[in-house]
């Protein structure tokens, strides 16, 4: 097993395994801080874990450079076709190493594994999670009690989330807050503990702090729509000439035909109403913004 990406493996050998990734994007340090905190608190409690948990580090070189990616976004290139041929961009190497490591961990039995991929964003507020498009991922996402976004794969097919979701793995992205803020680290720590609880790695009797964490996230999201779907993706070929207007944040209501950004000197108007998601306020990125809509009549 290649060790560079492996931060730690804890808990007993088990058929079902949980994999937690931090730093898939190199400018997002909060996931790694959250992992260190959880490991610190598990030190004398490892015997209480019921399943094996692997904590992984994402894009090593981008993390060193404190950049989202080196040549190409690591979380947009998860596809088997790149395992054997690609254009030589640096980040493919990280994808191939991570893929091999996760393959080793799961021993091909993806359906017994679960993935929690920790992220943050450049907008000011609005935490949410994104389940892979399979029932067990969607069911688990609901338990967090925060907004969750469905139908992402059409817009972003080559994410780790979708790659493993298609292989039958329970997979979830958790977006914990604004890049490198104390709140984002706190929320991603909560996400790890809750994921361990929901995936039955720990019990709430052994780790009673998980219940207040669950309540905290539910209270944080009480005024927000919960079940949403991705309806529009403003994809960027060249992020150098894109500037979002100030004041947008996750789940801000937007109107149709609203001017939200300037691209190549021209205004960008929304093509539909809905809620803003992940407006780009950072240097690098291939997504200008997304529009999500609430799914009503959920049952």
Binding site for Zn ion (CB under 5 A): 25, 28, 119
Q: Helix, strand, or coil here: 254?
A: strand
Phi, psi of 155 (to 5 degrees): -80, -40
Q: How far apart are CA 262 and CA 257, in angstroms?
A: 14
Q: How far is the CB of 21 from Zn ion (least distance, A)?
A: 10
Contact 34, 188 (CB under 8 A): yes
3 state DSSP class of 70: coil
CA quadruple 205, 134, 169, 5: dihedral, nearest 10: -90
In the complex, what is the shortest distance from the CB of residue 90 to Zn ion, in angstroms, rounded to a whole number?
17
Of 25 and 52, CB closest to Zn ion: 25
Decide whether 28 or 189 has the Cβ nearer to Zn ion: 28
Shortest distance in whole angstroms from residue 193 CB to Zn ion: 20
Q: Which residue is nearest to Zn ion (CB)?
A: 119
In whole angstroms, the minimum distance from the beta carbon of 111 to Zn ion comes to: 26
Q: Which is nearer to Zn ion, 28 or 33 (CB)?
A: 28
Judged by beta carbon, residue 28 or residue 94, the one nearer Zn ion is 28
Strand 17-22 to strand 52-57: parallel, antiparallel, or no bridges (unpaired)? parallel
- Residue 226: other Cβ atoms inside 10 A: 17
């Amino acid at each position: 097993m290649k060790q560079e990406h492996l931060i730690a493996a804890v808990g007993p050998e088990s058929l079902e395994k949980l994999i937690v990734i931090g730093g898939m994007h190199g400018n997002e340090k909060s996931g790694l801080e959250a992992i260190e905190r959880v490991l610190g608190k598990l030190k004398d409690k490892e015997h209480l874990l019921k399943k094996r948990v692997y904590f992984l580090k994402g894009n090593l070189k981008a993390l060193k450079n404190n950049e989202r990616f080196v040549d190409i976004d690591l979380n947009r290139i998860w596809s088997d076709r790149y395992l054997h041929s690609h254009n030589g961009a640096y980040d493919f190497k990280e994808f191939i190493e991570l893929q091999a490591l996760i393959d080793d961990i799961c021993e091909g039995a993806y359906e017994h594994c679960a993935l929690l991929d920790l992220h943050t964003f450049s907008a000011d507020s609005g935490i949410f999670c994104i389940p892979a498009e399979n029932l067990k991922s969607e069911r688990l996402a609901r338990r967090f009690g925060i907004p969750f976004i469905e139908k992402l794969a059409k817009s972003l097919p080559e994410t780790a989330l979708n790659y493993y979701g298609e292989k039958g793995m329970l997979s979830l992205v958790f977006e914990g807050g604004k890049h490198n803020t104390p709140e984002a680290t706190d929320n991603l720590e909560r996400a790890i503990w809750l994921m361990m609880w929901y995936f039955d790695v720990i019990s709430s009797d052994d780790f009673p702090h998980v219940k207040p964490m669950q309540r905290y996230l539910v209270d944080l999201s009480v005024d927000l729509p919960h079940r949403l779907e991705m309806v529009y993706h403003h994809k960027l070929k060249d992020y150098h000439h894109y500037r979002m207007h100030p004041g947008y944040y996750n789940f801000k209501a937007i109107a149709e035909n609203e001017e939200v950004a300037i691209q190549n000197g021209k205004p960008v108007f929304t093509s539909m109403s809905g809620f803003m998601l992940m407006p780009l306020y950072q240097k690098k990125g291939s997504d200008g913004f997304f529009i999500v809509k609430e799914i009503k009549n959920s049952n």
